[in-house]
Amino acid sequence: MYKVVAFHIASSLNIRQCKSLLPLEILYSDSEELYLKNGDKKFVYIFQYGLVSFFNHSEKEMQRILYSLRELSKEGGSPELTETMQVEIIEGRQQVAFDKVVLPNFDSDFIRLVMLNTSHSVALDRYSLIFEELLGETNEHTKYLEQHGRLNISGIKLKRFIGKVLNIKNQITENLYIFDEPDSTWENESLNKLNVALKQTFDLKNRYRNIHERIEIIKENLGLFKDILDHRESSRLEWIIIILILVEVLDLFVLRLIR
């Protein structure tokens, strides 16, 4: 029995630096992913969005690599989120269960799919927690609006909040290709079946949709906040103009009295 363990260790990782740091056999590499072979039947999968996945590594081996990568990212501390999937190799059999995957042979492409989907699951957990916090912060402002009839956030802070939400949304879109099929599955029916089964087991698509629903709720609230602040600013400008006109009228009236 083998084991896949995925860790979230940083907000981002530089793939080129990771490649230089870990002198291992490269099975696949681009600007966002790095798939490495670390000796006999051992694999490491590194993702630009701060995820690292291991196959068939001891605790000491994983911690040694994680320590180096955390030093590289300059984000100290222990991994925030992890997920584990057991892997068993039985010739001629392929099956995906709740906490175990049975593979028909020891193929690096099959193992890569298990590591990819396990990592996506951890990433979704991370983004789900982030948007829960953002939704909680948004709810605080809506409660204040309900109780006091005004917002307790300035225009600059609101713009920063909007920028934060949009940046995280862009990260999800760029990094998590939940609805896209990996290139390796296009011409291999067994790989495609494994990928579909893994997505269903981890419930990736529904969890991805739930995150986007939260994003839309937050965006709707922030849009309303922006409209309220714009209206408040517009009203303030209107009063300034009215006051200036009154001052001008009074000035003319005083000048006429003096004459």
CATH code of the domain made up of 120-232: 1.20.58
For the chain, domain boundaries: 2-105, 120-232
pLDDT confidence band for 108 (50 / 70 / 90):
very high
Answering whether pTM is above 0.95, one says: no
pLDDT tens digits, 188-197: 888 899 999 9
Phi, psi (deg, nearest 5) at residue 187: -115, 10
Q: Is the pLDDT of residue 26 over 90?
A: yes
Contact 66, 51 (CB under 8 A): no
CATH of domain 2-105: 3.30.310
